[in-house]
Structure 1
Amino acid sequence: MKKILVLISALVLLLMPLQTGFAQEVNTQSKDDYLVKFNGPADKGLLKAFGVEDSDISHTFDELPVVALSLSEGQAKGLLNHPQIEAVEEDAEVHAFAQTTPWGVPHVQGTDAQNAGYTGNGVKVAILDTGIDATHEDLTVSGGHSVFDDAENSDPYNDGNGHGTHVAGTVAATNNTLGVLGVAPQAELYAVKVLNNDGSGSYSGIAEGIEWSIQNGMDIINMSLGGSQSSSILEDFANLAYDEGLLVVAAAGNSGNRGGKNDSVGYPAKYSSVIAVAAVDQNNNRASFSSTGPAVELSAPGVNILSSVPGNSYDSYNGTSMASPHVAGVAAQVWGAKSGLTNVELRQLLNDTAQPLGGSNQYGNGLVQSLDAINY
């Protein structure tokens, strides 16, 4: 930070006869930009007494007695000690706060697709989760619904857990020079709170969230959640959404083992109408926690994923919960580019253009790739 110069003493009135000559002496010194604030009305005559020329003054403010100007170091020190001057401050530079692109976004060709003009504009993505912090600086939430009626959980735009806000950021954190960048920054986010602030919910709540998504014209449902027990009714709701033209994406689960040979995909990801997403790291190795089995359909980044969390903050999480929204975001980009596709055709396209990584039980058809799907 630049050092701020402040008024030290009024006794230098005694030195005034010397200061005019001093100003002439230092006028040839190199100059920097400053802000000078007067105790009363701005007095350009005083500035001239210190050798300041009209060409040195870049702006005189109206609302406060402040002048922006160029000064030598000697002029600045002299003005600092004058009783009519309240402050002399170097005019510090400012820069836009940097926006970080989490590694997973370019890994699924999200940034390549954005650079080509595909941002998911107008595609509606329902985040069935713990809610979304709608006040977050990096998120725009278009609507939502909570399946809860108690005071602590009835507001879908209040995420007391953080999980849903993190998922939402991966899908569509805005391109605004702040925080992080999502895969599809112009997709429309909808907060569908089916998990409470403790991160728990029920199959009936998920079914209600799916129903709300159908009734309110969502295009994509992301479910970074799941359970180990099947439900024919929950499956019926997932099938209904798919039959109604929605693309349904869910986390495969975090019940995998290092060998990766068990069938541990959870529900609803295991239903045939749902895209089950496994997690990989930056080297395209399957995360050891990522569930495996015949239902795994696609892979996406799920290790050390930086995204938004409540309170205008950011954090890195691991899990297939983080992989699923990468696929949802890619789907939004591709559907925005190819709006004539049906959800069935879009799903097939994502699978056909995925980058093969290995065994299908671990990786499905491979790493989802946005621009390849758009250009296919």
Structure 2
Amino acid sequence: MKKLLSVFFAITLLLGMVFSPTMGFASNDGKNEYLVQFDGKIEKGLLKAFGVKDQEILHTFDLLPVVTLKLTEKQANALVNNPKIKYVEENAQVQALVQTIPWGINKVQSQEVFNLGYSGNGMKVAILDTGIDRYHEDLFTNVKGGFSVFTDSANRDPYYDGSGHGTHVAGTVAAVDNDLGVLGVARHADLYAVKVLNNSGSGSYEGIAKGIEWSIQNGMDIINMSLGGSSSSAILEQWCNLAYNEGVLVVAAAGNSGRRNGRGDTVGYPAKYASVIAVAATDQSDNRGSFSSTGPAVELSAPGVGILSTTPNNNYASYNGTSMASPHVAGVAALIWEAKPNLTNVQLRQLLQQTAKNLGDSNQYGYGLVQPLAAIQQ
């Protein structure tokens, strides 16, 4: 069924899913930005028939028949009812809310796996986030490329991270072994800064879709999305599915809206999609972080309480959140995939599940704590 959705997709960075109603990108001419998917090939003639001008076609995607348009509400409603249109969704804003609040490398057996000769070498990990400070003393060796979905001068550089969140996530995946600062899970993995959130922590559905598309087109092995929201998007789900079907392992934070009693289904999106590994957060005693989201979609657990990692300008800080747990799993996946390069992403995912350490309630921990040593030795 086609849907006209006006949704708020809140990106959570660090600690806490905090939501407040936020409108999509509106302009002074009474038109908003929409993501429109055709049921088949893109037909610009159809758009013109509905009064859409060339300059109002803001972006045309390559891998799915999706365009970003400026439309009046009347135009959007009319397109919804056209049989050649599959979805019409507002290009809703996303917001980042940050609280600063580290240890997980040994907990996920990184050093033991390194002693076997594996460090993530040759694995490409896309960090869809606020950018990465590529000049950080603990990251510059491993940051191999990047892309920003923004074109303005303040945000077009994927290596400028005004928030610090993306740099923190990157350090957990692959901070280098250089006797400085911290050590990442997969110390020789290749990092790619895919900036889908600007320096104030805002972005859009279109931005995340562009980041996933870039990752597919540039041969990424693993996508990490330490972000999440309360509302689903059929189009965003298709981008996640497309990446997974193209052989990419897609990992995301389960969310930080969990209840203290650990009950209820509070997993956010995109983690909740079937093609994405939803990661919950644990503490040093393998207990669930009280904030960590719960529900049937939780698949794996990893350290996410008091995680020390890199922040811009050669700094370091400790943060809490499933945003910190997700990159532990991305790093572990890089270690296993280097050791077992013939695995498909589906087989790798199954191996992560089969070898995880059972921690209890699957709605809180999924299959449990990731254990790459067992996965590699299996």
**TM-score normalised by length of structure 1:** 0.73
Q: Of 338, 345, 359, which residue of structure 2 is paired with 1:336?
A: 338
What are the residue-to-residue correspondences of 1:61-80 with 2, within 5 Å? none
What are the residue-to-residue correspondences of 1:1-376 with 2, within 5 Å? 103-139=103-139, 140-376=142-378
Partners of 1:293 and 1:149 lie apart in 2 by 38
Residues 7-59 of structure 1: CA deviation (Å, up to 9, x unaligned): xxxxxxxxxxxxxxxxxxxxxxxxxxxxxxxxxxxxxxxxxxxxxxxxxxxxx
Residue 150 of structure 1 deviates from its aligned partner by 1.1
**The residue matched to 2:185 in structure 1 has which SS?**
coil
**The residue matched to 1:189 in structure 2 has which SS?**
strand
**The residue matched to 1:345 in structure 2 has which SS?**
helix
State the partner residue of 1:63: none
Residue 200 of structure 1 deviates from its aligned partner by 2.1
Residue 152 of structure 1 deviates from its aligned partner by 1.1
Q: In terms of mean alpha carbon deviation, does 307-316 or 109-118 score higher?
A: 109-118
**The residue matched to 1:180 in structure 2 has which SS?**
coil
State the partner residue of 1:72: none
Larger radius of gyration: 1
Partners of 1:212 and 1:329 lie apart in 2 by 20
Compute the RMSD of aligned alpha carbons: 0.7
**The residue matched to 1:144 in structure 2 has which SS?**
strand
Residues 132-173 of structure 1: CA deviation (Å, up to 9, x unaligned): 001100003100100011111110000010000000000000
Identity of aligned residues (%): 75
**TM-score normalised by length of structure 2:** 0.72
Higher relative contact order (CA 8 A, sep 6+): 2
Residues 332-351 of structure 1: CA deviation (Å, up to 9, x unaligned): 00000100000000000000
Residue 198 of structure 1 deviates from its aligned partner by 1.6
Letter in 2 for 1:117: G
Structure (1/2) with the larger helix percentage? 1
Partners of 1:270 and 1:193 lie apart in 2 by 22
Residues 202-257 of structure 1: CA deviation (Å, up to 9, x unaligned): 22111110000000000000000011110000000000000000000000000001
Letter in 2 for 1:187: A
Letter in 1 for 2:277: I
**The residue matched to 1:306 in structure 2 has which SS?**
strand
Partners of 1:176 and 1:200 lie apart in 2 by 33
Residue 260 of structure 1 deviates from its aligned partner by 1.1
Partners of 2:208 and 2:296 lie apart in 1 by 23
Partners of 1:269 and 1:203 lie apart in 2 by 15
Unaligned runs of 5+ in 2: 1-101
Residue 115 of structure 1 deviates from its aligned partner by 1.4
**The residue matched to 1:217 in structure 2 has which SS?**
coil
Partners of 2:335 and 2:200 lie apart in 1 by 32
Partners of 1:272 and 1:322 lie apart in 2 by 21
**The residue matched to 2:192 in structure 1 has which SS?**
strand
The list of structure 1 runs, each at least 4 consecutive aligned residues, that deviate by more than 4 angstroms after superposition, is none
Unaligned runs of 5+ in 1: 1-101
Partners of 1:254 and 1:201 lie apart in 2 by 19
Residue 370 of structure 1 deviates from its aligned partner by 1.1
